[in-house]
Chains A and B, each alone.
Chain A
């Protein structure tokens, strides 16, 4: 990715100040939420694996801007950003991180396993790439029901080397499933760089063998992500089958909380933060375009800080699940109804 100063670009004329401010707010919520999650992890309030989304915020915020009510999304375990972006309650997400009864999964899922039928968020999956055929299956159900919905199936550059991705590409193209395969290429599969793991670096081209169109997108630019998302959604919703978006992004933090970060230099991370930060970019657009003042943005910062602090307090104060919960939700007694 070439280094571009955010200030070199101006906001396209078809984007309103309100939209820009909304993207700024949504991305900032994810960043501050994740920072707080990292802090709570450090305090021992969050356990196990915890994969932060910091740096990748423009991906989910841009794509959610292209989605419509009823569209579905599914992802892997770096999932907090997706949940916040689709409108899930920060309190419920944070309380799940702390393993409490008010968490989205009543404390039984944790960071990697959360779901919301209401927001059409289908997880939160811990096995790399397993969510790819699952996402195509959601799209299969929508096509079967002829309801015009599309599914955003997120996976990483690491997952893109799993065989089931290509099994899924084949069937998704064969059956013309309304599925957008979103490859969040943050350049590192845990600690292995794309160069060291991937024979052909242009992952979006891997749909060619199946006749699936794909494009690479600048994932540090929320407006570019949104525009690409709109193209993909239009393609899928019009019945033309799946679409691939390879969104080139960057994760500032480690793979998980216990990542010693020996596989990349501190300078590389710092350069990204300084030159390509997606939130700073929108901030600059807002200020230079005179869509918002420093004070307006400070007010948003303050509002987000309050939301995040409240979620942390909520997550600390929510009780641990009752021990009876150990034995519930193993078997359903009735067919789950659609939201």
Chain B
């Protein structure tokens, strides 16, 4: 049966084109793959090949015709044994329109929280639990080691994690306990070993990929975002990367611009990733265990300065902290200070000093940035009517600016003052001691911001 040959779309954006030249004439026999015509698109001149075999029965659009719409019949192809008389019966194979989706559908939007946000305010551990003092470093290692004892598919890889015992001694003792199969020194090759880690996760393992610092993870950004974060979605839920990327993030002390960046806001932006940035030792332990068990890629942002700080850690066999649950460190009615990671140091110091002046601040530690416990922020702002955010990262596109936009959209009527985002300064990190101190957010700046929003 005769078939119509239609004007093809030859680029992702082509709607019409010029039929520049016919390379076949009526009566010619063509086979699949033969070039039949040259067609000019908006971008280039393209060759148009035959898909089926047959005889060119009639050319419907003359060469040189401009503005031929995609899917317009341009010629008729006859099968063996047919003649031009059969053209009247030509069956056109027009592009069938996509099966219509339900007309009633509209893209579901994320539901807005109810005016009274539901907040999980349960304490992290039961009253009366025995506590012990531990550094962040010890708590983090204990958390990882506990999970490795529970699940043979968990392993850790990174630079100097094994024989050196960790560049920051986080993995101290782990090689001895778990052996070189599960505690793996890599060459200095972030892009490569991150990709291998992601592939191992696709293959059914649960890798912990340690970056000596997250600054080096820039070399591996493609594997983290394009391979780890997006595969579950791209595969329609068939496979993903259950794994943890961890290491120190943000400024340490006097290590200069290339070793001092806070990546919280970068990673927080990516659907498919979860992002934790704990402050206290108990949260390091509870969140790393949750991160390792999570079936998704988790970015675990640590801080070198916090590694040596001691906190109360509950003496429990299996202590975990859920993602998306903020911790309220102190309650107050006058202002809400929201922070995370090392930013909590400034937030808590500022709250102490403000209390001496009679200003009662409520201090919220987000602990995880994705998912983020925005209901806890909204609920607090409804009470205090004022909000200051604190972080060491840069101001433009900061975590604070996101929080500020959420609060404006969901609790605008409760605000008695503009939200102030205290951030690191908008400069690469300088080396000189005095300059570095000024480049970071300071307690004094947090106090000043609180006074501004409380009009004191």
Interface residues of A (CB under 8 A from B): 35-36, 38-39, 41-45, 47-49, 54, 72, 74, 98-100, 103-109, 113-117, 122-127, 130, 132-142, 144-145, 163-164, 167-168, 170-171, 174, 252, 254, 257-262, 266, 273, 316-324, 326-336, 338
The complex places the Cα of A258 from the Cα of B238 at a distance, in Å, of 30
Closest to A107 in B: B236
Task: Give the 10 A-B CB pairs with smallest separation, nearest first.
Answer: A137-B199, A133-B195, A167-B192, A141-B203, A42-B8, A260-B44, A258-B11, A43-B95, A134-B199, A106-B236
Whether the pair A258, B196 counts as a contact (CB closer than 8 A) is: no
Report the minimal beta-carbon distance from B50 to chain A, rounded to whole angstroms. 9
Whether the pair B51, A39 counts as a contact (CB closer than 8 A) is: yes
Given the known inter-chain contacts A137-B198, A145-B204, A258-B12, please indicate yes or no for A330 contacting B272, CB distance below 8 A: yes
Whether the pair A123, B192 counts as a contact (CB closer than 8 A) is: no
- With a CB–CB cut-off of 8 A, which chain A residues contact B47? 261, 266
Q: Which of A114, A134, A323 contacts B101 (CB 8 A)?
A: A323
- The reply to whether the CB of B67 lies closer than 8 angstroms to some CB of chain A is no
Report the minimal beta-carbon distance from A160 to chain B, rounded to whole angstroms. 15
Whether the pair B99, A142 counts as a contact (CB closer than 8 A) is: no
- The reply to whether the CB of B232 lies closer than 8 angstroms to some CB of chain A is yes
Whether the pair B95, A133 counts as a contact (CB closer than 8 A) is: no
Report the minimal beta-carbon distance from A172 to chain B, rounded to whole angstroms. 8
- With a CB–CB cut-off of 8 A, which chain A residues contact B199? 74, 122, 133-141
Given the known inter-chain contacts A105-B236, A133-B195, please indicate yes or no for A331 contacting B107, CB distance below 8 A: no
Whether the pair B187, A331 counts as a contact (CB closer than 8 A) is: no
Interface-central residue, B41, B105, B205, by most chain A CB under 10 Å: B205
Q: Which of A45, A105, A138 contacts B235 (CB 8 A)?
A: A105
Q: Which of B41, B48, B235 contacts A115 (CB 8 A)?
A: B235
Report the minimal beta-carbon distance from A337 to chain B, rounded to whole angstroms. 8
Whether the pair A171, B186 counts as a contact (CB closer than 8 A) is: yes
Q: Which of A133, A323, A331 contacts B194 (CB 8 A)?
A: A133
Whether the pair B196, A113 counts as a contact (CB closer than 8 A) is: no
- With a CB–CB cut-off of 8 A, which chain A residues contact B235? 104-105, 109, 113-115, 123-124, 329
Interface-central residue, A103, A258, A334, by most chain B CB under 10 Å: A258
Whether the pair A324, B108 counts as a contact (CB closer than 8 A) is: yes
- The reply to whether the CB of B308 lies closer than 8 angstroms to some CB of chain A is no
Closest to A35 in B: B51
- The reply to whether the CB of B279 lies closer than 8 angstroms to some CB of chain A is no
The complex places the Cα of A171 from the Cα of B184 at a distance, in Å, of 11
Closest to A334 in B: B295
Report the minimal beta-carbon distance from A82 to chain B, rounded to whole angstroms. 15
Report the minimal beta-carbon distance from A236 to chain B, rounded to whole angstroms. 15
Whether the pair A130, B192 counts as a contact (CB closer than 8 A) is: no
The complex places the Cα of A83 from the Cα of B47 at a distance, in Å, of 27
Whether the pair B101, A320 counts as a contact (CB closer than 8 A) is: yes
Q: Which residues, 6 to 53 on B, are CB-close (under 8 Å) to A?
A: 6, 8-12, 14, 32-33, 35, 41, 43-49, 51
Whether the pair B236, A109 counts as a contact (CB closer than 8 A) is: yes
- The reply to whether the CB of B374 lies closer than 8 angstroms to some CB of chain A is no
- The reply to whether the CB of B82 lies closer than 8 angstroms to some CB of chain A is no
Whether the pair A329, B95 counts as a contact (CB closer than 8 A) is: no
List 27 A-B residue pairs with CB atoms under 8 Å apart, sorted by A's residue number: A39-B51, A42-B10, A43-B8, A54-B33, A74-B199, A104-B236, A108-B234, A122-B202, A124-B234, A133-B191, A133-B194, A137-B200, A137-B201, A141-B204, A141-B205, A142-B203, A144-B200, A164-B195, A170-B187, A257-B10, A258-B10, A260-B44, A316-B96, A319-B99, A321-B101, A331-B274, A336-B295
Interface residues on B, range: 35 or more
Closest to A103 in B: B236
Closest to B109 in A: A327
- With a CB–CB cut-off of 8 A, which chain B residues contact A45? 95-96, 98
Interface residues of B (CB under 8 A from A): 6, 8-12, 14, 32-33, 35, 41, 43-49, 51, 70-71, 93-96, 98-102, 105-108, 155, 181, 186-187, 189, 191-206, 222-223, 226-227, 231-240, 242, 271-272, 274, 295-296
Known contacts A72-B203, A140-B196, A171-B189; 4 additional CB pairs below 8 A are A137-B201, A137-B203, A140-B203, A170-B189
Report the minimal beta-carbon distance from A91 to chain B, rounded to whole angstroms. 15
Report the minimal beta-carbon distance from B444 to chain A, rounded to whole angstroms. 40
Whether the pair B239, A115 counts as a contact (CB closer than 8 A) is: yes
The complex places the Cα of A115 from the Cα of B14 at a distance, in Å, of 29
Report the minimal beta-carbon distance from B134 to chain A, rounded to whole angstroms. 29
* SS of B interface (majority): loop
The complex places the Cα of A258 from the Cα of B12 at a distance, in Å, of 7
Closest to A333 in B: B295
The complex places the Cα of A139 from the Cα of B191 at a distance, in Å, of 17
The complex places the Cα of A104 from the Cα of B239 at a distance, in Å, of 12
- With a CB–CB cut-off of 8 A, which chain A residues contact B192? 133, 164, 167-168, 170-171
Given the known inter-chain contacts A171-B186, A316-B96, please indicate yes or no for A125 contacting B238, CB distance below 8 A: no
Given the known inter-chain contacts A108-B233, A137-B195, please indicate yes or no for A43 contacting B9, CB distance below 8 A: yes
Whether the pair A144, B181 counts as a contact (CB closer than 8 A) is: yes
Whether the pair A38, B51 counts as a contact (CB closer than 8 A) is: yes
- With a CB–CB cut-off of 8 A, which chain B residues contact A108? 233-234, 236
Report the minimal beta-carbon distance from A184 to chain B, rounded to whole angstroms. 19
Whether the pair B45, A260 counts as a contact (CB closer than 8 A) is: yes
Report the minimal beta-carbon distance from A165 to chain B, rounded to whole angstroms. 9
Given the known inter-chain contacts A141-B203, A335-B295, please indicate yes or no for A330 contacting B232, CB distance below 8 A: yes
Whether the pair B203, A258 counts as a contact (CB closer than 8 A) is: no
Interface-central residue, B101, B107, B201, B235, by most chain A CB under 10 Å: B235
Report the minimal beta-carbon distance from A52 to chain B, rounded to whole angstroms. 11
- With a CB–CB cut-off of 8 A, which chain A residues contact B187? 167, 170-171, 174
Closest to B49 in A: A38
Given the known inter-chain contacts A43-B95, A141-B203, please indicate yes or no for A329 contacting B101, CB distance below 8 A: no
Closest to B205 in A: A141
The complex places the Cα of A45 from the Cα of B186 at a distance, in Å, of 46
Report the minimal beta-carbon distance from B31 to chain A, rounded to whole angstroms. 10
Q: Which of A104, A259, A328, A338 contacts B204 (CB 8 A)?
A: A338
Report the minimal beta-carbon distance from B379 to chain A, rounded to whole angstroms. 24
Whether the pair A330, B8 counts as a contact (CB closer than 8 A) is: no
Given the known inter-chain contacts A42-B8, A333-B295, please indicate yes or no for A134 contacting B227, CB distance below 8 A: yes
Whether the pair A328, B237 counts as a contact (CB closer than 8 A) is: yes
Whether the pair A332, B237 counts as a contact (CB closer than 8 A) is: yes
Q: Which of B71, B100, B227 contacts A44 (CB 8 A)?
A: B71
Given the known inter-chain contacts A141-B205, A168-B195, A171-B186, please indicate yes or no for A41 contacting B9, CB distance below 8 A: yes
- With a CB–CB cut-off of 8 A, which chain B residues contact A168? 192, 195-196
